[in-house]
Amino acid sequence: MSILIGSSFAFFGYKTLKIYLLRRKYKHIPGPKTKGILGFYLGNVLDIKNLPKNKIFPDLVADWVSQYGHVIKFQLSDRMVVFTINPEIIKDIFITYNFPKHHHVYSIFGFPLGFRFLGNGLVTDLDNQRWRHRRNLFNPSFHKQALMTFLEEFNIKSDALMAKLRSMADKNQEVLILDEANNMTMDVIASVGLQVGFSMDIDSINQDNNLKGYVSKSLEGFNKILLDPFLKFSISGWSYIKTYKHILKNLRDLGRYQILKRIESIKDGSYVSDDLITIMLKNNQNEEFEIEDLIDDFVSFFIAGQETTANVIAAAILEVGQKPLILKKIIEEIKNEIGFKTDLKFEDLTKLKYLNCVIKETLRKWSIVPFLSRKVDMPLKLLGFDIPVGSNIQTSSYVSGNCEEFFPNPTHFIPERFLCEKDEIKNYTYFPFSLGPRNCIGQNFAQIEAKVCLTKFFQNFDFELDPKQIFYPAQHTTISPAGRTK
């Protein structure tokens, strides 16, 4: 008993000293105050906990930036974050210095609570040389030529979704667009015969499957782990962690099963489609590889490539549904440029310039990935403030995109901001797909997929939003419409 009490005191003393030194190290950088003794230990986590329902954490950071300036700091438990919306600094972070990803953040995605999840996959790999090698191998699958092939699958899956929505409309059923879009993007990433995706024959649009829950619950869990320092210390937290690890394990087991099946098919000489699993195996054919590394990539593509795109589709419909004039312009453009054509080709999509601006404006206002984090790996002075080496420096396309200084009337949805002739967007204020070498490999994939789905939706349906729904964003790791777009 006395050993237990003694070690608890020692741990408490160690934490107190660590936090005291941390706060002293960053004292010179402006930022929100913390409140009382609890604030000393938890920092600004308390402000996040007390946020009103209609605000998400990046909204709070936006308020702090407007109050304290372009470079600020805030404390999350025993960690300090330096945050900036300054465009020149953002350029330096991602391009000039190309700082590496910060382990404080990315290890939570890679190894949440010590459990291997995204592991060393493309999103979370902290070893730059290993990442570069694998990124080069995956890049060709996302080039224009490859995207042309994906288009067929985007058409097929979007048509399947439209058929389902039509039957729901015939029965006068209310639709949760976010859930339906999630089903569609799930089928795309898993789909059969596609050069990307995993050749898994599932029909999420019309049937339930466990996979749907795995991805969304795993993303929700990241958020909880990042922001709830008490998770590990409560009975409800333990039971949550147990279920959470079970979900992560199921998703990895699914990847393992698919990969082993493919290795067998390749050995047998059976036909294998040229999809992501095959690419992963070919990438590794001359090397000793660990099956767990391949599972990392499998899971990473599912997590990065599914919910993100569904959120954009649902947010765009939520915005457009509130603006009859914008809807009219979209419908007129579709009517004039492609009419009721169903098999959409690349050339058709390039004609839909206004719809392109609608997608861009959605990504400004609803920038899906809330924060990006990098590690300062050299002495750095920003706007007169010395930034300690090793700092976790963060930026956010959501915060920059909703900042009055860069985008006048940021709460207004104005696709015209992105019309080329009026292109007044300041560099490094809009980066929903990140910047520099570690930008999103799937950015064109996602935008084309969203464009195909939205075009078909606007071609096919008159719709009305449920006026009783909530119109603000929710953050479950990614940002999505809290009301799920009813």
| Residue numbering of the annotated binding site for heme | 440
> Residues 87, 112, 305, 321: which binds ligand HEM (CB under 6 A)?
305
Distance CA 221, CA 452 (A): 31
Q: Are strands 392-395 and 79-84 parallel, antiparallel or unpaired?
A: parallel
Q: Work out whether 368 is an interface residue with ligand HEM (CB under 6 A).
A: yes
CA 41 to centroid of chain Cα atoms: 29
Give long-range contacts, CB 8 A cutoff, 24+ apart: 245-248.
245/113, 245/115, 247/213, 247/214, 247/217, 247/218, 247/221, 248/112, 248/115, 248/117, 248/218, 248/221
Q: Which residues contact 142 (CB under 8 A, 6 or more apart)?
A: 196, 441, 442, 444, 445
Q: Work out whether 190 is an interface residue with ligand HEM (CB under 6 A).
A: no
Q: Work out whether 440 is an interface residue with ligand HEM (CB under 6 A).
A: yes
CB of 335 to ligand HEM, least distance (A): 26
* Between 41 and 430, CB nearer to ligand HEM: 430
DSSP state of 111: S
CB of 45 to ligand HEM, least distance (A): 21
User: How many CB atoms are located within 10 Å of the residue 156 CB?
Assistant: 18
Q: Work out whether 135 is an interface residue with ligand HEM (CB under 6 A).
A: yes
> Residues 71, 181, 441, 482: which binds ligand HEM (CB under 6 A)?
441
* Between 41 and 431, CB nearer to ligand HEM: 431
The region of 27-35, 49-57, 303-311, 458-466 touching ligand HEM under the rule CB under 6 A is: 303-311
* Between 42 and 147, CB nearer to ligand HEM: 147
User: How many CB atoms are located within 10 Å of the residue 396 CB?
Assistant: 25
Are 63 and 398 in contact by the 8 Å Cβ rule? The answer is: no
Helix, strand, coil percentages, rounded to 5, for the chain? 60, 5, 35
Q: Work out whether 393 is an interface residue with ligand HEM (CB under 6 A).
A: no
Q: Work out whether 259 is an interface residue with ligand HEM (CB under 6 A).
A: no
The region of 67-75, 281-289, 315-323, 439-447 touching ligand HEM under the rule CB under 6 A is: 439-447
The region of 68-76, 232-240, 279-287, 438-446 touching ligand HEM under the rule CB under 6 A is: 438-446
Closest Cα to residue 283, out of 149, 153, 131? 131
Are 407 and 364 in contact by the 8 Å Cβ rule? The answer is: yes
Q: Work out whether 442 is an interface residue with ligand HEM (CB under 6 A).
A: yes
Q: Work out whether 122 is an interface residue with ligand HEM (CB under 6 A).
A: yes
CA 444 to centroid of chain Cα atoms: 15
CB of 109 to ligand HEM, least distance (A): 8
Give the DSSP H/E element, type plus range, for residue 83. strand 79-84
* Between 138 and 458, CB nearer to ligand HEM: 138
Give the DSSP H/E element, type plus range, for residue 463. none
Q: Work out whether 344 is an interface residue with ligand HEM (CB under 6 A).
A: no
Q: Work out whether 300 is an interface residue with ligand HEM (CB under 6 A).
A: yes
Are 363 and 52 in contact by the 8 Å Cβ rule? The answer is: no
- Cβ-proximal residue to ligand HEM, closest one: 442
Query: Which positions make up the binding site?
Result: 440
> Residues 154, 433, 457, 458: which binds ligand HEM (CB under 6 A)?
433
Q: Work out whether 304 is an interface residue with ligand HEM (CB under 6 A).
A: yes
**Site residues, ligand HEM (CB under 6 A):** 122-123, 135, 300-301, 304-305, 308-309, 312, 368-369, 372, 432-434, 438, 440-442, 445-446
